[in-house]
Amino acid sequence: MSTHTKASILIGDGLADRPVADLDGRTPLEAADTPYLDRVAAEGECGQMDPIAPGIRAGSDTSHLAILGYDPFEVYTGRGPFEALGIGMDIERGDICFRCNFATVEGDLALSADGQFTGATVVDRRAQRIAKGTDQLVEAVNGITLEDVTCYVKQSVEHRAALVLRGPGLGAAVSDVDPHDANAPPHGAEGEDEASQKTARIVNQLVLRSWEAFKDHPVNRQRVSEGKLPANILMPRGAGVAPHLTPFSERYGVPGACVVETGLIAGIGRYLKMTVPQVPGATGGADTDEAALARAVLEMLADHDFVLCNLKAPDLGGHDSDPRTKMAAAQKFDNLVRDVLESAPDDLHLAITADHCTPINFGDHTGDTVPIAIRGPNVRPDSVRSFGERAVVAGGLVRIRGFDIMPILTNLMGVQEKYGA
Ligand code: ZN
Ligand code: ZN
């Protein structure tokens, strides 16, 4: 038999939580009215999921890599590559990528022959969170060539930017230029091995060039005239090499799409050569248009066998330590699931889960399990009747890792090659 079914996984970002006293000891997901999440749980098979591994606090990037079947312990080399992908930079396998800050230094920066910065001190690591003009600053350094290496720089939000180095013989074992503290000079980057020493040399030259290009730049003259600190240097950190990731369609033999709201996850999707549509109305905020996300999922399902969708809103409530916002976001997630359920083909395998826990009481990601439920024609339903962190404990999936989802879904879909004879 060669027919196969399609699958979609809908992810409430940071949706899982811990008991909240203000909610009588329930989690926001348990307290929220989510009839469609409960329906998927009741009609499907449920369990707990460790996004990475038990107790590991997952980032959204590492978790989504794992959920898509790419082992983050193997492919995640630092935030640099994913930061660059997240702001829409094109990166290629082997590129060395950094996160950067626009910062303020005081003094006359010089680079010594042994690669140390002298003469200047960091006054503000974020240049007072500069909000405007960074696009003009990057123009002064983007695309320059140092030795045989091309340097690409792109601004992100506020004082943030990413740097991508492309050229032969580069390594990623490079220390940060950012001293992570004011009142210190920028650190000369140092490399652990010969290839990384080349990277360090290029990075240090680029930092010096940024200072030369930025110090009298019109954007900074304007800032100084307004009594603001100039953003007169670029300070890279978090070096990572762009990993080799087999494109999704090659890996699984079916085309996939990512319907997401954040640049970080969109960047992962693009890097895996999945379709990543623009979704007007998907703001990534608490006010996002989840109906637009649902429509995009359904559109993508027309010509893709697999669609991942991430709704960012629940994570925001967790980071803000606001149970009501998080309950409202859980209800938005319920609306998203309703819209997909109501119009999806009958034979769709639909998984619902979270990419990590973002507890109200912690305000950041933790390593607790998240609930997962999968509904569809080839699923063996269990006795779980509602979708919550504790309700799913009785489910047939028991306890899986994020990395297990794709094998489970491709098995249900009927697209997986047999392992063995
Ligand atoms: Zn997340
Ligand atoms: Zn988060």
| pLDDT at residue 214 in the model | 98
Q: Is 173 exposed, middle or buried (0-12, 13-18, 19+ CB in 10 A)?
A: middle
Q: Determine the angle formed by the axes of helices 323-343 and 290-303, rounding to 10 degrees.
A: 30
| pLDDT at residue 88 in the model | 85
Gap from CA of 360 to ligand 1 centroid (Å): 14
In the block, residue with structure tokens 């890097």: 271
Cα–Cα distances in angstroms (integers) from residue 275 to residues 63, 125, 285, 308, 315, in the given order? 19, 37, 22, 10, 24
Rounded to 10 degrees, what is the CA torsion of 214, 219, 220, 225?
A: 160
Contact 153, 94 (CB under 8 A): no
Contact 356, 64 (CB under 8 A): no
- The ligand placed nearest to the CA atom of residue 365 is 2
- Provide the 3-class DSSP secondary structure of residue 57: coil
Q: Which are the contacts of 306, defined by CB distance < 8 A and separation ≥ 6?
A: 6, 7, 8, 248, 252, 254, 255, 256, 257, 409, 413
Gap from CA of 132 to ligand 2 centroid (Å): 25
Gap from CA of 87 to ligand 2 centroid (Å): 17
Gap from CA of 373 to ligand 2 centroid (Å): 22
Gap from CA of 52 to ligand 2 centroid (Å): 15
Cα separation, 278 vs 265, whole angstroms = 13
Sheet holding 349-354, edge to edge: 256-259, 306-311, 7-12, 349-354, 370-375, 45-50, 398-401
DSSP 185: P
- The ligand placed nearest to the CA atom of residue 370 is 1
Gap from CA of 51 to ligand 1 centroid (Å): 10
| pLDDT at residue 95 in the model | 96
Which amino acid is residue 306, in one-letter code? F
Gap from CA of 196 to ligand 2 centroid (Å): 31
- The ligand placed nearest to the CA atom of residue 355 is 1
| pLDDT at residue 2 in the model | 53
Q: Which are the contacts of 143, defined by CB distance < 8 A and separation ≥ 6?
A: 150, 151, 152
Gap from CA of 356 to ligand 2 centroid (Å): 8
Gap from CA of 260 to ligand 1 centroid (Å): 11
Gap from CA of 413 to ligand 2 centroid (Å): 30
Count CB-CB contacts under 10 A for residue 65. 29
Gap from CA of 358 to ligand 1 centroid (Å): 8
Q: Domains (ranges, CATH) in the chain?
A: 6-76+245-413 (3.40.720.10), 85-240 (no CATH)
DSSP 113-133: TTS-EEEEEEEETTGGG--SS
96-111 vs 160-166, strand pairing mode:
antiparallel
pTM of the model: 0.87
DSSP 25: T
Gap from CA of 319 to ligand 2 centroid (Å): 6
Gap from CA of 60 to ligand 2 centroid (Å): 7
Q: Which are the contacts of 411, defined by CB distance < 8 A and separation ≥ 6?
A: none
Gap from CA of 141 to ligand 1 centroid (Å): 32
- The ligand placed nearest to the CA atom of residue 64 is 1
Gap from CA of 315 to ligand 1 centroid (Å): 6
| pLDDT at residue 405 in the model | 98
Gap from CA of 15 to ligand 2 centroid (Å): 10
- The ligand placed nearest to the CA atom of residue 61 is 1
Contact 349, 376 (CB under 8 A): yes
Contact 392, 372 (CB under 8 A): yes
- Provide the 3-class DSSP secondary structure of residue 374: strand
Gap from CA of 59 to ligand 1 centroid (Å): 6
Gap from CA of 11 to ligand 1 centroid (Å): 9
- Per-10-residue mean pLDDT of the chain, 421 residues long, equals 86 98 97 98 98 97 96 87 86 93 96 95 94 94 97 93 97 94 93 97 98 97 96 95 94 97 90 95 94 98 98 97 97 98 96 98 97 98 98 98 98 94 89
- Provide the 3-class DSSP secondary structure of residue 159: coil
Cα separation, 262 vs 277, whole angstroms = 12
Gap from CA of 14 to ligand 2 centroid (Å): 6
Gap from CA of 346 to ligand 1 centroid (Å): 29
Gap from CA of 316 to ligand 2 centroid (Å): 7
Gap from CA of 353 to ligand 2 centroid (Å): 15
Gap from CA of 223 to ligand 2 centroid (Å): 32
Phi, psi of 32 (to 5 degrees): -75, 155
Gap from CA of 363 to ligand 2 centroid (Å): 9
Gap from CA of 314 to ligand 2 centroid (Å): 9
Gap from CA of 357 to ligand 1 centroid (Å): 8
| pLDDT at residue 21 in the model | 96
The alpha carbon dihedral of 405, 61, 393, 377 has a sign of negative
Phi, psi of 85 (to 5 degrees): -60, -40
Tokens describing residue 254:
């079916």
Q: Which are the contacts of 116, defined by CB distance < 8 A and separation ≥ 6?
A: 185, 188
